[in-house]
Structure 1
Amino acid sequence: MTTGVRRRMGVEERREQLIAVALELFSHRSPDEVSIDEIAGAAGISRPLVYHYFPGKRSLYEAALRKAAVDLAARFEEPREGPLGPRLLRVMGRFFDFVDQHGPGFSALMRGGPAVGSSTTNALIDSVRQAAYEQILAHIGITAPSARLELVVRSWVSLAESTALLWLDGRRVPRAELELQLVHDFVALTAVSAAYDEEIAAVLRAVLATEPSDGHFADLVGRLVALAPLPQSHA
């Protein structure tokens, strides 16, 4: 017969539990709106016990953010096999999975929250952006990018972030369309810069050489040509 006595958690186990509870609450509401009392209640412990493991709400928020940052950075990891278009589309799918699951917390982090502006928070945000940047460079096979190529990749990472934030405001554009659009945005940004930089032109040629004739990038070209068909010569 069981006695119903609750098992006592170790220090690290309890900390991980509180971080998980905080992340779950932050996923549905802005961290500014979540109180320590709510976190304690959801974890089944008292408010003073929360302060035993974390000095305050900011430290708990930063710990939860650190865990989320590791998760988000991992969404950009993808086996470097096959055409780039499908790879980027899978990455965008996982990225938007995260945004969809952690909407209010993601929005609060990027737009303002209880720990925004702190050196810890800024470093965590930068670490996610840097991880995404490095993953994209690895996908296109570049280890020492030129200044212009770095600008292209970092601009695209920033575009993905801002697109996700705008999408969260009402989800007025179908998510699948935005994921594909961001894949198209990457090749479009690269193509514009390729007109000014031979290194980027070589990267673009290498990427397009592996794309199937009916792939994502060919789809973009078809859409653009349909918008502005070439003038026909007159007899």
Structure 2
Amino acid sequence: MTTGVQVRRRMGVEERRQQLIGVALELFSRRSPDEVSIDEIASAAGISRPLVYHYFPGKLSLYEAALKRAADDLATRFVEPREGPLGARLLRVMRRYFDFVDEHGPGFSALMRGGPAVGSSATNALVDGVRQAAYLQILAHLDIDRPPARLELVVRSWISLAESTALIWLDGRRIPRAELEAQLVHDFAALTAVSAAYDDEMATLLRRMLKDEPAEGPFTDLVGRLVALAS
């Protein structure tokens, strides 16, 4: 027989930890981690402040756990089936990347720029991990295991450019997002082309990139735009 009183289910330790991480990430999507207090996280989770400290020894440990989940999510945005033209693949990657930036603006900004609450060696390692995951994914798309020095420079420079572009875009969103996504794919081709002018190995890679590019692909679009500017 029921008494009409609803009994609240008690969460296990790991379940509660994951809930708190999720609540923190939700708050970080609206404001920088430095501006979010433990009291706010506790209130949003429906528990007391001391109970938050039961699951996380300090404020920084909760921030690091939340940012680790965000970093893992961001790294997966670079995962793409290695099928079809490279330009289209990179465009899909950039769309997912900006999906994340759009959804987690303040948290993304804090993670990439650092700050008192997120500037620890652990969170710096998270950012480096995202960059390395992105780097390895791009090399996989190029079907290259041991990149020459110029290619490593191109790929790592492009990843840094994507980060900077996203951070600048968050400050007012003055340029249409879709244009920036396409521009970053063009940037990858442009960086490769400049490097190809100095290196035969990079020139071979560029020819391979463009060989399978369809007429409506982003790389072909870039070539058309450059030709139009030169005429």
**TM-score of the alignment, normalized to the shorter chain, above 0.5:** yes
- Report deviation, 1:225: 1.2
- Aligned partner (choices 213, 226, 229) of residue 228 of structure 2: 226
- Aligned partner (choices 178, 182, 185) of residue 183 of structure 1: 185
Structure 1 residue aligned with 2:147: 145
2:40 maps to a residue whose letter is: E
CA deviation profile, 1:35-91 (whole Å, cap 9, x unmatched): 000000000000000000111111000000111111000000000000001100000
TM-score by length of 1: 0.95
TM-score by length of 2: 0.97
Does 85-94 or 110-119 show the bigger shift? 110-119
CA deviation profile, 1:163-215 (whole Å, cap 9, x unmatched): 00000000000000000000000000000000111111111111111101232
8 Å CA contact 1:62, 1:121 repeated in 2: yes
8 Å CA contact 1:27, 1:105 repeated in 2: yes
Structure 2 unpaired stretches of 5+: none
- Aligned partner (choices 30, 33, 36) of residue 31 of structure 1: 33
- Aligned partner (choices 188, 194, 197) of residue 195 of structure 1: 197
**Deviation above 4 Å: which 4+ runs of structure 1?**
none
8 Å CA contact 1:115, 1:121 repeated in 2: no
The RMSD of aligned alpha carbons is 0.9
Structure 2 residue aligned with 1:232: none
Structure 1 residue aligned with 2:74: 72
- Report deviation, 1:21: 0.2
Percent identity between the two aligned chains: 80
8 Å CA contact 2:60, 2:118 repeated in 1: no
Q: How many residue pairs get matched? A: 229
Q: Is 1:40 matched with 2:42?
A: yes
Structure 1 unpaired stretches of 5+: 230-235
Structure 2 residue aligned with 1:163: 165
